């Protein structure tokens, strides 16, 4: 499962919160609160990861098949450094924000019926 924001479609493997335009039940509101808290935690972790390992901020000039190993190595090293409580400079995050470029993504044509059934069923079950 991947946690997504409202811009993404609801898919069996991509969860997003309930829309605020609908009258939400207390359970749906609670789901949205926990989903958003999870997304914020992930965004903070990725921000710290990219701030510490700047190679993740730009295109890697390597064959794409090596990218998982590079990202994994950065994650492992990041966890080691974090567990040892090594210094983290908050100003590093400024470089991350300056380097963040959001590229427009293509629209995905999904079957709304399948999206509705599968995604909604899975989200409601959770």
Q: How far apart are CA 118 and CA 124, in angstroms?
A: 10
For the stretch 32-67, pLDDT in tens is 999 999 999 999 998 999 999 999 988 888 998 999
Name the token pair of 60: 């890697």
Domain boundary assignment for the chain: 2-125
Measured CA distances, 11 to 15, 19, 39, 82, 124 (Å): 7, 15, 17, 34, 12
The confidence score (pLDDT) of residue 111 equals 52
For the stretch 87-126, pLDDT in tens is 999 889 888 888 776 666 666 665 544 455 678 888 888 8
């Amino acid at each position: 499962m991947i946690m997504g924001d409202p811009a993404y479609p609801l898919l069996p493997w991509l969860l997003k919160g309930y829309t605020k335009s609908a009258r939400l039940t207390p359970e749906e509101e609670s789901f949205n609160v926990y989903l958003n808290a999870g997304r914020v935690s992930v965004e903070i972790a990725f921000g710290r990861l990219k701030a510490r390992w700047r190679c993740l901020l730009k295109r890697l000039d390597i064959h794409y098949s090596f990218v998982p190993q590079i990202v994994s190595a950065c994650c492992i090293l990041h966890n080691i450094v974090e567990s040892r409580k090594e210094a983290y400079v908050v100003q590093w995050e400024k470089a991350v924000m300056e380097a963040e470029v959001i590229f427009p993504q293509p629209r995905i044509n999904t079957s709304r019926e399948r999206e509705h059934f599968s995604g909604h069923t899975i989200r409601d079950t959770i």
